Amino acid sequence: MTSFSAAQRNRVTMLDVAERAGVSKASVSRFIGEDRALLSEAIARRIEQAISELGYRPNQMARGLKRGRTRLIGMLVADIRNPYSIAVMHGVETACRRHGYSLVVCNTDRDDEQERQHLALLRAYNIEGLIVNTLGHHRDELFELRSEMPLVLVDRKVDQLDSDLVGLDNPAAVEMALDHLEQRGYRDLLLVTEPFDGTSSRIERVGSFNAGIQRRPALAGAVVETCDQLKTRIKTFLSQPGHGPKALFCANGIAALAATTVLRELGCHLFDDVGLIALDDLDWYPLVGSGITALAQPTAQIGASAFECLLKRLRGDNGPVRTLDFAARLIERGSTLGNGR
């Protein structure tokens, strides 16, 4: 059997395969396409042997464009450095691969101009569908894309965009956190969140926190954003007399990192001086003090479900838009076993 280099394999054409197998080019096209059943077993074996001998690799992109299909799915993320985004993206990519699709990921880096450029780029790639986890500031472009292809939102709503939404059941997750803190004896709570910036999930979590505090007369609560004043605000919160034992509730992993860093800088004894619970469950949570109690999001399931919603639309599902809200899972560690006991 002849050995071919990678460069030689790239030069092998469908016509070369047809000549080696002694069949027509149309037969080779059927073999590598979706019409293999139309070929006799003998012809199929000859073509398969010729492909193996020549090292032929069909140009899947060119074939997809010819058929009007690329089997490419686009995904737009606001910040690829965010552990949540990475975990969800992995869930999407795994589901794509299982169904024979490839994923094209664009990171906006929280920049509106980058978002606009990436939306144009994804359209140029002839993607078949789009999964969006971003700020959604370019609503006109998103609406235009939605008119051309299926589009699924992850974690963040875009006002008036008629698309499926997959994410966390934020009100239930916040209730779970408040119930846990109250049962552990904490009474004075500070919610630490990233700036809203129009992000629906952050707004929803803060709204649920404030509503939950209102329903619990034993608790007092305040909200602070991760900004230059975070250290001062947390220091003030810890130094002022309150209703009882104090705890921080961090609305995501980035807020948890910012708050934990501040507590270290303030010389707090983690977690004797203050309790802490955080949304997301990141790899470093068990390594801080006696471990950070977490509300874990089923990120792999969220990512896979986002693709499955998209796949149903690609297959012709024209039913009403759906919202899939997944439950968080409480993982108790030492950060909520201190002052609140």
pLDDT in tens, 258-276: 999 999 999 998 898 899 9
- Give me the sign of the Cα torsion angle 253, 255, 261, 263: negative
Instruction: Assess contact for 73 and 36: CB atoms under 8 A.
Output: no
Summarize pLDDT for 148-193 with one digit per residue, the tens. Answer: 999 999 998 888 888 999 999 999 999 999 999 999 999 999 999 9
Instruction: Assess contact for 257 and 235: CB atoms under 8 A.
Output: no
| Cα 246 to Cα 264: distance, rounded to the nearest angstrom | 16
What residue type is 151 in one-letter code? L
Q: How confident is the model at residue 339 (pLDDT cuts 50, 70, 90)?
A: low
Whether pLDDT at 312 is above 90: yes
Whether pLDDT at 69 is above 90: no
Lowest mean pLDDT, pick from 32-46, 48-62, 237-251: 48-62
Q: What is the mean pLDDT of residues 275-292?
A: 96
- Residue 52 tokens, joined: 């193996």
Whether pLDDT at 35 is above 80: no
- pLDDT at residue 60 in the model: 53
Cα→Cα distances 56→3, 22, 92, 101, Å: 12, 16, 30, 21
Cα→Cα distances 208→71, 74, 200, 244, 260, Å: 40, 32, 12, 22, 23
Summarize pLDDT for 207-254 with one digit per residue, the tens. Answer: 999 999 999 999 999 999 999 999 999 999 999 987 789 999 999 999
Q: How confident is the model at residue 25 (pLDDT cuts 50, 70, 90)?
A: confident
Q: Which is more confident, 256 or 272?
A: 256
> What region does 110 belong to: left with phi over 0, alpha with psi -120 to 50, or beta?
left
- pLDDT at residue 4 in the model: 42
- pLDDT at residue 100 in the model: 86
pLDDT over 70 percentage in the chain? 92
- pLDDT at residue 7 in the model: 43
Whole-number average pLDDT of the chain: 89
